[in-house]
Amino acid sequence: MPDLEPLEIGVMFWAGGDPLETIREVKSLGVRCGQLGIPGEMELDGAAQAWKQALEAEQFRLVTVFAAYRGESYADIPTVQRTVGFIPPATRQEREERTYAVSDFAARLGVPSIATHIGFIPEDPSHPDYVAVRDMVRRVCDYAARHGQTFALETGQEPARVLRRFIEDVDRPNLKVNFDPANMIMYGSGDPIEALDIVGPWVISVHCKDGEWPAKDRPGALGVEKRLGEGAVGIERFIQKLKAIGYRGTLNIEREIEDRHQRLADIRDAIELLRKLR
């Protein structure tokens, strides 16, 4: 596996198709590392061996494996609150077990970090959902620790101070943050550069994604994702800030539009942009 440079450019991509073809497509963009998302419905039994072989054959390094869950929808903010991550009580146990399975899968691939959106963390620490999710995150951290893994929370759905207080309350050394500056903006959770002053010490990986603030006249709507450099993040100041806080991990480009052809074209342009900025 290649040794990575500080701030090496990578891509966030999803499993589902043939592992070798998937990795070759990502590599054809000009990167040799990235983060792999595992769809909630993907069958994990038996999948690890093919992924491991493909990664070795292509000398491609995964820095993170992301878990997603059956039944999640990102249609708008109320739907996210109702369906995403560890917050919905009805799916909590099933998703805890799925997270363990993703941790096992990542371990077979030799990947040192797993991550997920746990959903909207309630602001009130005495709220039953807060308590249940905090305890669940502790168990996931302890499980991941047995594989020598960190467990990273994707940012965006709550203000940085709420996330920081939650992390301190969970109190596990392998609990980290996958920082997505566009999510902070698209969910209206606060300025991402200021947020790095609050959660910076926990940031183990980042998404390079861009987006707009939510429209004021459409309550509950998420802001729109944009091509990197064309949204409200200010990608140049984001990279500068990462350097300023001493971040040395990879810059994982995330582009979430449906159109595959356009997505790949946008990622190519994003790689060009980041090469100039890093």
Contact residues for Mg ion, defined by CB under 5 A: 180, 207, 254
Smallest distance from Mg ion to CB 183, Å: 6
| Residue 79 vs 132, nearer CB to Mg ion | 79
Task: Judge whether 254 and 208 are in contact, CB under 8 Å.
Answer: yes
Residue 79, φ and ψ in degrees, nearest 5: -70, -40
| Residue 207 vs 226, nearer CB to Mg ion | 207
Q: What tokens appear for 36 in the block?
A: 């792999």
Q: How far apart are the first and last CA of the chain?
A: 22
Of the candidates 230, 87, 66, 249, the one whose C-alpha atom is nearest the C-alpha of residue 158 is 87
| Residue 111 vs 253, nearer CB to Mg ion | 253
Smallest distance from Mg ion to CB 89, Å: 25
Cα distance between residue 235 and residue 42, in whole Å: 33
| Residue 158 vs 254, nearer CB to Mg ion | 254
SS3 15: coil
Cα distance between residue 8 and residue 72, in whole Å: 31
| Residue 115 vs 144, nearer CB to Mg ion | 115
How far is the CA of 188 from the CAs of 115, 125, 170, 199, 220, in angstroms?
A: 22, 21, 24, 17, 10
